[in-house]
């Protein structure tokens, strides 16, 4: 698998270079598909999705200079034959998975069939997560309880044997102080990466590398 798990997007040159390295080509020569699904479970989600797509919110992600960009909405896939959307996944260079509610995103990844496809898909395609889009691949996920899914629904896919806590010391998330995230990490039985918005986790199969121009901490319970 090839993954780039970010807190807030492609926020600096080191993270961009890591993305290029994973894809094996410049961004300007690469195609991408953006999954906005997770954000719809948050208040104002539709407008947030629009702003992420047009690049008016946060760090570069969709508006990074891709050769082509498509939108893949997971909630629509159950009503569409797989031969209409699976080839697009298989042909894209990067799968961009946006932030929002981990539990909602996990549910629709499973229901749509994308979760089952990921292990084989990510042998070629690079998975690029943003916030919840990163967390969903690990052993820890959060929910805002703003949806109607069963409480026992999975909060992450658990494909990676560690937890990820983004937005460390971010002024928009005052609860994400180092002390608070360490307390949370202490309740999780796997290592936790606490990362700020200038840090990402690069994963190639079993190799994990921290890419950072900011600050981060690996917490071992």
* pLDDT digits 0-9 by tens, 65-122: 999 999 999 999 999 999 999 999 999 999 999 999 999 999 999 999 999 999 999 9
Range 184-198 average pLDDT: 97
Longest CA–CA separation in the chain, Å: 48
Q: What is the pTM of this model?
A: 0.97
Domain total of the chain: 1
CATH number for 182: 3.40.50.880
Calculate the alpha carbon distances from 4 to 12, 14, 92, 129 in Å. Answer: 13, 12, 15, 6
Q: Half-sphere exposure (CA, 13 Å, Cβ side) for 211?
A: 24
pLDDT digits (tens, 9 = 90+) for 162-173: 999 999 999 999
pLDDT at 139 over 90: yes
Per the structure, the complete domain to which residue 156 belongs is given by: 2-219
């Amino acid at each position: 698998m090839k993954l780039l798990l970010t807190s807030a997007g492609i926020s600096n040159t080191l993270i961009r270079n890591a993305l290029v390295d994973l894809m094996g080509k410049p961004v300007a020569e690469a195609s991408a598909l953006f999954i906005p699904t997770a954000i719809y479970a948050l208040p104002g989600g539709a407008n947030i999705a629009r702003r992420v797509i047009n690049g008016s919110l946060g760090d570069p992600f969709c508006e990074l200079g891709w050769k082509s960009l498509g939108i893949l909405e997971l909630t629509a896939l159950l009503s569409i034959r797989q031969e209409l959307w699976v080839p697009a996944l298989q042909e894209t260079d990067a799968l961009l998975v946006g932030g929002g509610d981990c539990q909602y995103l996990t549910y629709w990844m499973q229901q749509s069939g994308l979760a089952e496809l990921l292990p084989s898909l990510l042998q070629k395609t690079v998975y690029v997560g943003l916030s919840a889009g990163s967390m969903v691949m690990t052993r820890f996920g959060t929910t805002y309880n703003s949806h109607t899914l069963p409480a026992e629904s999975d909060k992450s896919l658990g494909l990676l044997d560690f937890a990820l806590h983004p937005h460390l010391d971010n002024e928009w998330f005052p609860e994400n102080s180092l002390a608070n995230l360490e307390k949370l990490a202490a309740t999780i039985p796997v290592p936790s990466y606490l990362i700020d918005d200038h840090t990402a986790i690069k994963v190639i199969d079993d190799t994990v590398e921290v890419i950072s121009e900011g600050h981060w901490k690996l917490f071992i319970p």
